[in-house]
Structure 1
Amino acid sequence: MISASASCRRRIAFCVVIAAAVAPAGRTLSQEPPPPRLETRNLYGMTGLIDMPSARVQPDAELGVTTSYFGGFMRNTLTFQVLPRVEAAFRYSIIEDFFVGDDLFDRSFDIKVLLSDETRYFPAVAIGLRDFLGTGVYSSEYIVGTKEVLPGLQITGGLGWGRLAGTGNFVNPLGYFSNRFKDRDTRDLGTGNVNIGQFFRGPDMGGFAGVEWRPQFLDGLSLKAEYSTDAYLQEQVNGDFDPKIPFNFGAEYRFNDWFSLGAYAMYGSEVGVRASIGINPTRVTGPRDVEAGPTPMSVRPPIDSRVSAELGPVIERVGPGPATGSDAGFEASLLAGATEGARWAQAPTRLAPGAECPVEEALDVDAELGVVDGVTFLDRSGAPLCSVLLRETGRRYLDGKRTLVGAYDTAWADQPGTRTALADALAQAMDGERVTLRSADIQATRAHVEVENPYFNASPQAIGRTARAMANTLPPSVEDFEITLVEDDLPTTTVLLRRARLEAAVETPDAERTSWVDAEVLSALPVEGSFLPDYEPDRHPEFSWFLSPALPVNLFDPDNPLRADLQLVAGAQLTVARGLSTSASVSKSLINGFDDITRESDSVLPRVRSEFAKYLQQGDPGIDRLTGDYLFKVSPETYGRISVGYLERMFGGVSTEVLWKPSEQDWGLGLELNYVAQRDFDMLFGFQDYDVATGHASVYWDTGWHGMEVQVDAGRYLAGDWGATFGLSRRFANGWEIGGFFTLTDVPFDEYGEGSFDKGIRLTIPFAWGLPYETRSTLDMNIRPLTRDGGARLNVANRLYPIVQEVDRGDLRADWGHFWR
């Protein structure tokens, strides 16, 4: 549905095999890889020939979906280029008549590691495991090399074990090193466990080969031929498949970067077809930035320009000298604000703007006022015509004008209503930038604002637009900009920016790097209680609602592998105070797409998830969620949550959580405790006679390596079992996230049932990736091969880490390229 007792030595052995495969890649990382290009896929959905693999991989982060069919075998495969050298796949296959009249619905996982790149004289070399986690029907291992011998012409050769040794070309040479490699252990077949006992084992080994030609005269066309070592022995015994020859031939055509088709002559007896769709989170899908850009940032004039505007050109006439006795009619007066004992005068003249400065007349002002250090002359319009420096003491006055920040007028900060008016103007300016001002405290030299980012996928874009609005609205004396991001009413991260540094960086080639280096990232304070904000609109109570269609999907049921149900979902939320809210969501089926689910649960554990079909069928209409929630901060680094009510479709009760996650570091710790009861199947207000205390301690770590993030949750699950969930995901700067997880608990594999342990794939697709405008909405999917009861965790809607994970220092740095957009 989209929504463990085993040998420890076996698990360790599997890790050793993977480590041995990845380790040689480290020695070749210094080599320059070839330019990334889209490679062709085989009928298993992996990069390869036709039925055989190759040593090619896809461009980094390429995500593909492949459907293929021949001879009664349908394979549906989701592949992902996890790292530049690691390709992985999840496959759902339908094999007709595999059990003498009964079809087999098979789930399997593959992985391939590129050990070395192709060079002038040597081929690329890869090692792979096919169906290493699953029933083992397709279980095989291989080492393969691929070399381009002429432009567009490449050859492939490899050695295979398991199914790829079906023709038995050679004796397995590993058997000479250890007798255990002579026999292929089949104890884990059909269990869904990692098939450690099969890796590179068996009496025989097969040698496969193939060729691929991409004609230069027709871009997108690929012609293939291969010698296959898969004899399809089981399918011959139980089904009607009858391979005549071990050769396959095919033609493929790639229409564009995302779609390709292939047709094949298979084993001299069948015709095969393949269709593949490929997308890449790093590729731009269409026109971007079609909306109006940010308002240009106003820059204060440089210090010398401000001095020039006040004093005009400064001319040195050092030395008192005699007065000239001019009758020009000066009415000189001393200026207030001269510093360090300097005396400065101002004298209006009847001279026109641009006239020659009356330098000698400065001596008359000196005589009239009794020793001054400098004089500023004003023309007939009242603008400064020039200034004359008479004594060295006057330089103190000039230097103060050039260097003192206080040269900007700060008297406005003490005027009643001025700060409030500025905050109102700032809120209006930020609305024009699609950023919401939550509160503002404006002082003479510092301004602190809390902002919400409801629109931009990259938080630095909201920060940059906020900084622009502040520079364009606030008086010149405000030098420090403190911008706090607010997510779900939680102040998360504060970014401190220096206005002068931003002004120096704007519209320069190095603006992105300079603005990041000058920014300071801090954990936001829980509550700003040290001041009364100049702007904090009374937003509460605040009410919002939605009404939208939904398309839940039920996958991998052998009776019907794909079911969908069109539903109408309505929801509302009432926020009564900051962080305190109540929310509800109800759904109604429109086509009853799940009514034909007939399989009953055979679980020996408390049936906390395996009876999901009853909720789908009887909970129509049903209350998906009805909770009261309080989200708060205990300290700058510590967040808290309390949720009470019908927490999800199957359970209700109390859920509490605390998260320690400083914004400045890339890891955090969490603790969640829950006490819940199982809801009635009708998903209304009743409960069944099952309750459980559950909870987990969690570790979150953003490795900073290719966007990889690790999450480990250890504790008690809904069925009362104890264990841990291990998750690894790759998150991209544009919001894409792709990852996998598995859970091992104290439930023995045979008691868990089919699949042996919980595992699955997580996928987050940002809508902004495929649209020409910005939005923070995403499509989130959890794909599990099976829904069982072991390792089942509560589905809480507002866990804390997803709220704060995208606004720490590491994520802001990754997205900082959007700051000036």
Structure 2
Amino acid sequence: MKPTQLVFAPSGASPQNRLRNLIGLKGLTPVALAVLSASPAMADGLAGELGAGQSDFGGVGIMQTPTARMAPEGTMSVSWSRTQPYRRYNVFFQPTAWFEGGFRYVEVENREFTAAGDGRANLDKGFDMKLRLLEETRYWPQVALGFRDVGGTTLFGAEYLAASKRLGDVDLTLGLGWGYLGNYSDVSSPFGWIDSKLDERPRRSGGSQGGEFALDSLFRGPMALFGGVEWQTPWDRLILQAELEGNNYANEPQNNDQDRDSRVNLGARLAVTDNFELRTGWQRGNTAMAGVSYNIDLAGLRQVKNDPAPMPIDAPPRDSWSTVAGELESNAGMRVARISQDGSHLRVEAEPTTFRHLGQSEGRAGRILHAQADEGVDQFRYTWYSRGMPLREDVHPRDSFVAAARSESAEEAHLHSLYAHARLDVPDGETLYRGRASGFDWGVGPRLDQNFGGPDGYLFRLMAVADAEYRTDANGWFSGELAWTVWDNLDDYEYIADSQLPRVRTFIGDYLAESSLGIENLQYTRTARLGDNWYAMGYGGLLEMMYAGAGGELLYRPFNSPLALGVDVNWVRQRDFEQRFDLRDYETWTGHATAYIDTGIEDILAKVSLGRYLARDFGGTLDLSREFASGVRIGAWGTWTDAGDDFGEGGFDKGLYLSMPFDALFTRSSRDRAELDWRPLTRDGGAALNRRYELFDLTEEREMGRYWDDYHRTWN
């Protein structure tokens, strides 16, 4: 099964691990998500912009040919095109200004999915990437190096070097292509003098079962010229296109050669909205093309807020500190554990609940505290906790804060007077208020799990999900999730490929089909701080849909450091398909050592994990992600293990994910997130336990992040 999923996860759930291995698109469909994100995100979109259109294959290009152009940083583009006999479904990201990456499914209408043998159309998947080598100047074109279908079966694999130059209302591209883009063979291989093997290109690459990086075929074989032109018409919504192809359609994958009457393709792009575009064309001199594309500005994603207004700075005192604590939660978004006074310092110990930026909570809290504090208080101190673990303390001098709250001209002085540190041992002081550590919280809502792109066609499961949590104290809590299937078509799911490893994930169809009511999670979790930079967590119960067990995690995370180190160890046993309390025979130990590295390059976070996976295979996972100022994080990961040929189709595990803050989608502030994960195949190799909580996410406020850059939010 080939899942794409959207999971609504609480703060502290891992974008990589939160139900990553299961099928599904949870909470919102991609279309609904796109519509929600578009209206606040992009007043001036990419639709109808010269040199910014999506190609038939996805990624910025003309039609069949790519260009050297890039989308604006932080753009996500979703597109579909049909040129008989191919239907292409594409999702592409622009995580940095110089790198474009994405994936696609190609549905081959006149070829069967042979493993199924039931008439279903063949589906091919692939990854692309493009690197900008040179930015355009007045005299020089923009130059890019690209790789198409480099991480899949490589049926449509190609490499290219492209140059693009804008001249007024015209954008010109000229390039050289290898592989699928070089089949016209205008030029012999330029590298044959190095080794005669480079004169010929393998017919199939990417490993014996596909899915591996096709390093053995890169830049091999003859080349072809390709290029094209786009013209911005006087009607600014319409762009006309013409291109010269490098493919001759005489060497199509799966012996699916196509007639070609012309090497020149003609097309047009029409902007329907700022972000939605219709595309059409006449290709190969005899075939029509139709397509659509939609762009989302992830970096600029935002929504106008309808939160309660901050309290007036000169409001009268409240009747008690208990009332103050209530207002701190309802207005400043902080669940107060304790308010104390130590001489001239007024301290609030709390967990953030509402605002994504701590400075915003502190700015609102300072107004409330100023009204209540006596004249002898000269500092407001906020000691921030997560699940009972102290993380840091932010300090606001009272005088400069009050002056800035009253006058914008005093904000700079206040900015330079506040500071943060890793204070963990809080003085006793005089307790003015102490909150309850225990409590119960629950919620019920709909959830949609859906899967597309697999051989089974479109699969879905509509559920009602009850989620509950009982906190026994500041550091411990029970959590549970019960899911009832209201409507589904999962009977269409069929497990086709044989797994040579223990079936730790490929029983997914049995779990989904066996019962309409299942306990997806029921566990007790406990946290602790072991030292200045050391945190620990233990947990046990029904840890996820497929596994029960117990485990623990240890994290070393210095304050505001670019490096953190963690270790987790878990004993698990496979759950029964009915998802109650019965267990199957399979059990194992699994765990990893993980390094979290802030690379300092383009806000990229690298996670490197080494350890033992559920199928008892050993290996490692590399996860690279970037978070934009909007709070949206995009990332990609790959897992390689010692399973070798036993791994099965795909060769290694890999996928992409998108984590979106609710704060950017809705009119009320929230710290919750929506997780969209995509992986091409569900296989048993490299399968990790889906732990509901991870210490690195729970301790995110140990990192100052954009605290200073977002200082203006203090007054919102």
What TM-score do the two structures reach when normalised by structure 1?
A: 0.77
Task: State the alpha-carbon separation in 1 of the partners of residues 172 and 289 from structure 2.
Answer: 22
Post-superposition Cα deviations, 1:557-597, rounded to whole Å, max 9, x if no partner, equal: 2132x311101111221112122111221111111321221
- Tell me the SS of whatever aligns to 1:138: coil
Partner of 1:45: 58
Higher normalized strand content (fraction of residues): 2
Equivalent in 46, 60, 76 of residue 63 of structure 1: 76
- Tell me the SS of whatever aligns to 1:223: strand
Task: State the alpha-carbon separation in 1 of the partners of residues 254 and 310 from structure 2.
Answer: 68
Partner of 2:657: 762
Equivalent in 441, 445, 454 of residue 544 of structure 1: 441
Q: Which moved more, 1:277-286 or 1:479-488?
A: 277-286
Task: State the alpha-carbon separation in 1 of the partners of residues 410 and 197 from structure 2.
Answer: 62
CA contact (8 A) 1:459 1:807 kept: no
Shift of 1:299: 11
Task: State the alpha-carbon separation in 1 of the partners of residues 411 and 247 from structure 2.
Answer: 54
- Tell me the SS of whatever aligns to 1:790: coil
Post-superposition Cα deviations, 1:74-132, rounded to whole Å, max 9, x if no partner, equal: 11111001210111111111112246987321111111111112222221111101111
Shift of 1:275: 0.7
Partner of 2:145: 127
Partner of 1:276: 293
Distance 1:589 1:289, change over 3 A: closer
Shift of 1:506: 4.1
CA contact (8 A) 1:36 1:58 kept: no
CA contact (8 A) 1:601 1:610 kept: no
Q: Does 1:90 align with 2:107?
A: no
Equivalent in 522, 525, 532 of residue 424 of structure 2: 525
- Tell me the SS of whatever aligns to 1:462: helix
Partner of 2:87: 74
Q: Does 1:163 align with 2:180?
A: yes
Task: State the alpha-carbon separation in 2 of the partners of residues 746 and 731 from structure 1.
Answer: 32
Partner of 1:294: 310
**Could you tell me which amino acid in structure 2 is paired with residue 723 of structure 1?**
G
Task: State the alpha-carbon separation in 2 of the partners of residues 142 and 504 from structure 1.
Answer: 59
Q: Does 1:780 align with 2:675?
A: yes
**Could you tell me which amino acid in structure 2 is paired with residue 224 of structure 1?**
Q
**Could you tell me which amino acid in structure 1 is paired with residue 288 of structure 2?**
V
Task: State the alpha-carbon separation in 2 of the partners of residues 206 and 272 from structure 1.
Answer: 23
Shift of 1:36: 10
Partner of 2:378: 479
Post-superposition Cα deviations, 1:699-734, rounded to whole Å, max 9, x if no partner, equal: 112234332111111111111111111000011233
**Could you tell me which amino acid in structure 2 is paired with residue 209 of structure 1?**
G
CA contact (8 A) 2:349 2:382 kept: yes
Shift of 1:532: 5.8
Equivalent in 246, 265, 277 of residue 260 of structure 1: 277
Residues 186-585 of structure 1: matches in 2 within 5 Å? 186-188=204-206, 190-202=209-221, 204-215=222-233, 217-235=234-252, 238-239=255-256, 241-284=258-301, 286=303, 288-298=304-314, 423-435=321-333, 436-506=335-405, 514-525=413-424, 528=426, 530-531=428-429, 533-540=431-438, 542-560=439-457, 562-585=458-481
Distance 1:505 1:271, change over 3 A: same
Task: State the alpha-carbon separation in 2 of the partners of residues 475 and 117 from structure 1.
Answer: 59
Q: Does 1:176 align with 2:193?
A: yes
**Could you tell me which amino acid in structure 2 is paired with residue 484 of structure 1?**
T
Task: State the alpha-carbon separation in 2 of the partners of residues 741 and 195 from structure 1.
Answer: 17
**Could you tell me which amino acid in structure 1 is paired with residue 435 of structure 2?**
P
Residues 655-666 of structure 1: matches in 2 within 5 Å? 655-666=551-562
Task: State the alpha-carbon separation in 2 of the partners of residues 112 and 722 from structure 1.
Answer: 32
Shift of 1:537: 2.4
Residues 607-756 of structure 1: matches in 2 within 5 Å? 607-748=503-644, 750-756=645-651
Partner of 1:365: none
CA contact (8 A) 1:700 1:712 kept: yes
Task: State the alpha-carbon separation in 2 of the partners of residues 514 and 660 from structure 1.
Answer: 35
Distance 1:524 1:672, change over 3 A: farther
Distance 1:514 1:273, change over 3 A: farther
Task: State the alpha-carbon separation in 2 of the partners of residues 432 and 165 from structure 1.
Answer: 62
Shift of 1:512: 5.8
Q: Which moved more, 1:651-660 or 1:236-245?
A: 236-245
CA contact (8 A) 1:586 1:621 kept: yes
Task: State the alpha-carbon separation in 2 of the partners of residues 44 and 676 from structure 1.
Answer: 42
Q: Which moved more, 1:466-475 or 1:91-100?
A: 91-100
CA contact (8 A) 1:493 1:808 kept: no
Distance 1:718 1:690, change over 3 A: same
Q: Which moved more, 1:116-125 or 1:93-102?
A: 93-102
**Could you tell me which amino acid in structure 2 is paired with residue 536 of structure 1?**
R
CA contact (8 A) 2:652 2:686 kept: yes
Shift of 1:812: 2.6
CA contact (8 A) 2:574 2:585 kept: yes
Larger Rg computed on CA atoms: 1
**Could you tell me which amino acid in structure 2 is paired with residue 548 of structure 1?**
G
Root-mean-square deviation over aligned CA pairs: 2.5
Partner of 1:104: 122
CA contact (8 A) 1:465 1:820 kept: yes
CA contact (8 A) 2:177 2:226 kept: yes
CA contact (8 A) 1:646 1:652 kept: yes
Shift of 1:505: 4.0
What TM-score do the two structures reach when normalised by structure 2?
A: 0.88
Partner of 1:54: 67
Equivalent in 786, 789, 797 of residue 684 of structure 2: 789
Distance 1:36 1:601, change over 3 A: closer
Q: How many residues align?
A: 664
**Could you tell me which amino acid in structure 2 is paired with residue 798 of structure 1?**
Y
Structure 1, unmatched stretches of 5+, are: 4-34, 301-417
Q: Which moved more, 1:68-77 or 1:427-436?
A: 427-436
CA contact (8 A) 1:512 1:816 kept: no
- Tell me the SS of whatever aligns to 2:715: coil
- Tell me the SS of whatever aligns to 1:694: strand
CA contact (8 A) 2:602 2:626 kept: yes
Distance 1:524 1:690, change over 3 A: farther
Overall identity of the aligned pairs, in %:
30
CA contact (8 A) 1:108 1:136 kept: yes
- Tell me the SS of whatever aligns to 1:535: strand
**Could you tell me which amino acid in structure 1 is paired with residue 124 of structure 2?**
D
**Could you tell me which amino acid in structure 2 is paired with residue 42 of structure 1?**
S
Q: Which moved more, 1:87-96 or 1:470-479?
A: 470-479
Shift of 1:507: 5.5
CA contact (8 A) 1:570 1:587 kept: yes
- Tell me the SS of whatever aligns to 1:565: strand
Task: State the alpha-carbon separation in 1 of the partners of residues 518 and 136 from structure 2.
Answer: 58
Shift of 1:224: 0.1
- Tell me the SS of whatever aligns to 1:812: coil
Higher normalized helix content (fraction of residues): 1
